[in-house]
Amino acid sequence: MSDRRRAALAGLGPALLVVDVQRSFGDPAFLAGHGLSPAASAAVEAAVTTTKTLVDAARARDVPVVWIGLGTDPATPWRASLWLRTGDPDAPYGPDEPCLIGTPGAEWYRVAPAPGETVVTKRGYSGFLGTGLESRLRDAGIGWVAVAGLTTECCVAATATDAFQLGWPVLLPTDAVAAYDPGMHEAALAQLALNVAVPTTAEDLTALWG
């Protein structure tokens, strides 16, 4: 990151946004049917490990950690998603639907909120859509955000894009995000770097907090 950008963040309160580090998206037992290559599986596990490291570092430096998780509610189905995936907007959710509320898939994976940390439940891709997250960050005086979690091209990208469009500078620790296909991950990083976020590493982000 350039010295000019770094200087512009000085004195602004940061926050770490952790996106969808849940069993449906990160636990190998839940990903068996997705056909991930060994490289992709290793990348997901590495991103979760690095996200956990960032969470620990943020807590040690009094940087707010905000938890954003998907909560799929059969009572209010996401009809557009069902249409896109199945062709039928009225199709019932199947047993493999990710992050169904009250099921193990919705649980956090290898890392979890601490008492008092902000937790929001989303119904779609972005952590800002219908969750009240924008007002909570503004009320907390947050001046810039870093986004970590799963997956790079989907919910990480949507959350980072909305944060940027709402006025927050966004940093993206590229070693703390992953996709189920390495090529898709790299393409998403390129698009986000061009239009949304400054890429960084977990190590450099931790130093910036410090």
CB neighbour list of residue 84: distance below 8 Å, 6 or more residues apart = none
Catalytic annotation, pick one of 15, 17, 142, 155: 155
Least Cα distance to 50 among 150, 140, 128 occurs for 150
> Six-digit token pair at 25?
């998206």
Alpha helices in 61-148 (DSSP H): 79-86, 133-139
CB 12 within 8 A of CB 95: no
Is 155 labeled as catalytic in the residue annotation?
Answer: yes
Helix, strand, or coil (residue 135): helix
DSSP notation for 147-169: EEEE-IIIIIHHHHHHHHHTT--
CB 166 within 8 A of CB 15: no
CB atoms within 10 A of CB 125: 21
CB 159 within 8 A of CB 147: yes
**Which of the residues are catalytic?**
155
